[in-house]
């Protein structure tokens, strides 16, 4: 996924564009670039550089940009073409009179590129994006809006684009299908951006462009139309997002800040979702009768959100007795979908912009299924395309590795399952009340865990040099093992595999020797003894064990080389508690290894391309 910003107004464009990019860097940071239409006229001025945005700033110190009041900028997560200067955006036509920034994938770019080359166009990059600017150039007959309108008709795939032209220095054109793009409405100035943090310092008035819409921005106003050119009456939303929430506030990394925010996030969710001991699912979009009519639930998600869905399955089946399937979105969307009006699809996504999850729900809805999304970004594409949305209100999650969003998603599954239990008559009311009582204690238990993280910091030193990790869990903590492994691998680059502990003897045990670290999630539960057996099997083969155990467990320390304890809680709530030490262990090891914790290599915060 990439970050796009654009500006047209009375101020100097460059600082606004660069500041906006920096607030979008979590979306992709392979390379970046900026294009302005010089106030003094002449062709476009473009600067672009491989690496983080600071590399672009260093370049512009040596090769300054001219004064300008309109421009576009981009920070890239490479899809087509290596992360290097020539593949960076903006891309321009050869006489540098038109430039484009793009987020998405043009599926038919090879065909378009071949046709344009036959017409004599020269391509300088390996990107799909470059076909867009040459197409616009091909159709340009003096009106940049018309040229964009015609060019996008030829494009297949997902795109959010910003376009400027030196022939029309007062106009910034934007268009989207499948990738997010917002328009910021200012006083005598207007903006485009991939996401709110880029423009929030300048305006809280935004238009969430819909698919197949074009926006034409000038200093004194904005017009929106369909791709066919039909004017659209747009709605201006007021954004409540708080910028300081997207700052580190003294923490060394966003990830550490977001780990520490989890008690407050859950306390806030308890306030929002529990009224007088009863769950409320404002935003669900389904009546109790409609919920009662649901005979099967299918959860679709990617990555960490998928792991939350796996925990959700245990919770819903245990509390409400409704069968649940869980699929990664990229598989769900290509399967023969057995969904009908009695199927509820629950899409889980922090960003609400994950391409595969969006595609999955579109398929499901086309087959008649109802879709409810558990989402963290207000107004995201997923939220707007679902029948109902349960916002997690976890605040902006900037660290690429998902932490507070994950535990907020888990929490939402508990609340949703309690509601289903009420409607479907699952778990006895008394048992539900006990679970709610234990749920209310979680923020305090989180604070207790966070106070004891120092022990994990020193433990991480013993394990930072290991070349491979195995994470084992059973039952409701099998997904915790998957999530713990994902956290470690994505920020420390150490190969780590999550496994159902019962599967150890079916293969993975071959990995065990004195060079292997095994994290065993073994809180007090019905499968505790089984976990102890797994730990013994590992130790007998000289494996090194880090056990996540329940406070007061006297047995485990005679088995595991290192023990991290979590407070005692309801057996169904242990994934909520186990998540924190697993997150912090990954964080501490990655920091020890000098990794870029917030912006790990090759990753982006949300994968808005397939």
Which active-site residues does the annotation give? 2, 605
Report the site for ligand AGP in 567-586 (rule: CB under 6 A): none
Of the candidates 116, 538, 607, 609, which one interacts with ligand AGP according to CB under 6 A?
607
CA angle in degrees (0–180, nearest 5) for 261-267-272:
125
Q: Which two tokens stand for residue 337?
A: 């979908």
Phi and psi, residue 264, nearest 5°: -70, -35
Q: Does 155 bind ligand AGP (CB under 6 A)?
A: no
Query: Residue 88 or 606: which CB sits closer to ligand AGP?
Result: 606
Q: What is the C-alpha separation between 201 and 11, in angstroms, rounded? A: 14
Closest CA to 308 of 233, 390, 247, 243: 390
Residue with nearest beta carbon to ligand AGP = 303
Burial string for 370-382 (b: 16+ CB within 10 Å, else e) reads bbbbbbbbbbbbb
Q: What is the C-alpha separation between 18 and 28, in angstroms, rounded? A: 14
Q: Measured from the CB of residue 153, what is the shortest distance to ligand AGP in angstroms?
A: 30
Q: Does 190 bind ligand AGP (CB under 6 A)?
A: no
Q: Measured from the CB of residue 402, what is the shortest distance to ligand AGP in angstroms?
A: 4
Q: Does 490 bind ligand AGP (CB under 6 A)?
A: yes
- Give the chain's count of helices (H) and strands (E): 18, 26
Stretch that binds ligand AGP, among 73-81, 242-250, 346-354, 506-514 (CB under 6 A): 346-354
**3-class secondary-structure state, position 36:** strand
Q: Measured from the CB of residue 449, what is the shortest distance to ligand AGP in angstroms?
A: 19
Stretch that binds ligand AGP, among 96-104, 263-271, 396-404, 576-584 (CB under 6 A): 396-404
Of the candidates 32, 50, 93, 357, which one interacts with ligand AGP according to CB under 6 A?
357
Query: Residue 374 or 511: which CB sits closer to ligand AGP?
Result: 374
Residue 228 DSSP label: T
Find residue 544's DSSP bridge partners: 517
* Residue 547 · residue 556 · CB < 8 Å: yes
Q: Does 343 bind ligand AGP (CB under 6 A)?
A: no
Of the candidates 17, 18, 101, 305, which one interacts with ligand AGP according to CB under 6 A?
305
Q: Does 386 bind ligand AGP (CB under 6 A)?
A: no
Helix%, strand%, coil% for the chain, nearest 5: 40, 25, 35
Query: Residue 305 or 563: which CB sits closer to ligand AGP?
Result: 305
Q: What is the C-alpha R_g of the chain? A: 25
Contacts of 307 (CB under 8 A, 6+ apart): 406, 479, 480, 482, 483, 486
Query: Residue 97 or 583: which CB sits closer to ligand AGP?
Result: 583
HEC secondary structure over 63-94: CCCCCEEEEEEEEECCCCCCCCHHHCCCEECC
Q: Does 492 bind ligand AGP (CB under 6 A)?
A: no
Query: Residue 99 or 305: which CB sits closer to ligand AGP?
Result: 305
Q: Does 597 bind ligand AGP (CB under 6 A)?
A: no
Q: Does 363 bind ligand AGP (CB under 6 A)?
A: no
Q: Measured from the CB of residue 595, what is the shortest distance to ligand AGP in angstroms?
A: 14
Q: Measured from the CB of residue 327, what is the shortest distance to ligand AGP in angstroms?
A: 14
Q: Measured from the CB of residue 606, what is the shortest distance to ligand AGP in angstroms?
A: 4
Closest CA to 191 of 64, 24, 434: 24
Q: Does 302 bind ligand AGP (CB under 6 A)?
A: yes
Q: Measured from the CB of residue 68, what is the shortest distance to ligand AGP in angstroms?
A: 34
Find residue 328's DSSP bridge partners: 301
Contact footprint for ligand AGP (CB under 6 A): 302-305, 349-351, 354, 357, 400-402, 490, 606-607
């Amino acid at each position: 996924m990439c970050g796009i910003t654009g500006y047209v107004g009375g101020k100097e464009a460059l600082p606004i564009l660069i500041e906006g990019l920096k607030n979008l860097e979590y979306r992709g940071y392979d390379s970046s670039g900026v294009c302005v239409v010089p106030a003094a006229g002449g062709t476009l001025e473009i600067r672009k550089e491989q690496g983080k945005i600071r590399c672009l700033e260093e370049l512009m110190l040596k090769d300054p940009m001219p004064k300008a009041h309109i421009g576009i900028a981009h920070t890239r997560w490479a899809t087509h073409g290596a992360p290097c200067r020539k593949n960076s955006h903006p891309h321009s036509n050869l006489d540098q009179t038109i430039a484009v920034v793009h987020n998405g994938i043009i599926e038919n770019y090879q065909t378009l590129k071949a046709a344009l080359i036959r017409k004599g166009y020269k391509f300088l990059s390996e990107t799909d994006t470059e076909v867009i600017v040459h197409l616009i150039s091909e159709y340009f007959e003096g009106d940049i809006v018309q040229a964009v309108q015609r060019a996008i008709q030829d494009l297949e795939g997902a795109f959010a684009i910003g376009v400027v032209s030196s022939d029309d220095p007062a106009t910034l054109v934007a268009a989207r299908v499948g990738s997010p793009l917002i328009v910021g409405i200012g006083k005598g100035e207007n903006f485009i951006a991939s996401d709110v943090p880029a423009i929030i310092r300048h305006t809280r008035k935004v238009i969430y462009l819909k698919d197949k819409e074009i926006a034409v921005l000038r200093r004194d106003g904005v017009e929106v139309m369909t791709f066919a050119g039909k004017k659209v009456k747009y709605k201006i939303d007021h954004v409540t997002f708080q910028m300081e929430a997207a700052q580190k506030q003294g923490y060394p990394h966003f990830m550490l800040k977001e780990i520490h925010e989890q008690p407050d996030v859950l306390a806030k969710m308890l306030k929002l979702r529990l009224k007088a001991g009863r769950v409320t699912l404002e935003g669900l979009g389904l009546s109790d009768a409609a919920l009662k009519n649901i005979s099967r639930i299918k959860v679709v998600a990617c990555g960490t959100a998928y792991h939350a869905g796996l925990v959700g399955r245990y919770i819903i089946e245990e509390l409400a007795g409704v069968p649940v399937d869980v699929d990664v979105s990229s598989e769900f969307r290509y399967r023969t979908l057995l969904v009908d009006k009695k199927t509820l699809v629950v899409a889980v996504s922090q960003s609400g912009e994950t391409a595969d999850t969006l595609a999955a729900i579109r398929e499901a809805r086309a087959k008649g299924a109802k879709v409810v999304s558990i989402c963290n970004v207000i107004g995201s594409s997923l939220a707007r395309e679902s029948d109902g949305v349960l916002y997690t209100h976890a605040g902006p999650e900037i660290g690429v590795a998902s932490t507070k969003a994950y535990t907020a998603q888990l929490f939402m599954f508990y609340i949703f399952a309690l509601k289903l239990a009420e409607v479907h008559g699952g778990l006895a009311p008394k048992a539900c009340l006990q679970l709610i009582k234990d749920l209310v204690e979680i923020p305090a238990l989180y604070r207790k865990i966070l106070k004891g993280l120092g022990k994990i910091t020193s433990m991480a030193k013993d394990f930072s040099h290991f070349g491979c990790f195995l994470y084992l869990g059973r039952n409701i903590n099998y997904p915790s093992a998957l999530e713990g492994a994902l956290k470690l691998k994505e920020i420390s680059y150490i190969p780590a595999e999550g496994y159902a502990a019962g599967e150890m003897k079916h293969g993975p045990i071959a990995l065990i020797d004195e060079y292997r670290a095994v994290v065993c999630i073994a809180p007090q539960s019905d499968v505790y003894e089984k976990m102890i057996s797994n730990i013994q099997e590992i130790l007998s083969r000289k494996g090194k064990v880090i056990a996540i155990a329940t406070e007061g467990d006297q047995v485990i320390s005679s088995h595991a080389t290192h023990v991290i304890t979590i407070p005692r809680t309801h057996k169904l709530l242990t994934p909520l508690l186990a998540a924190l030490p697993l997150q912090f262990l990954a964080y501490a090891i990655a920091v020890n290894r000098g990794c870029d914790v917030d912006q790990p290599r090759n990753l982006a915060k949300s994968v808005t391309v397939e």
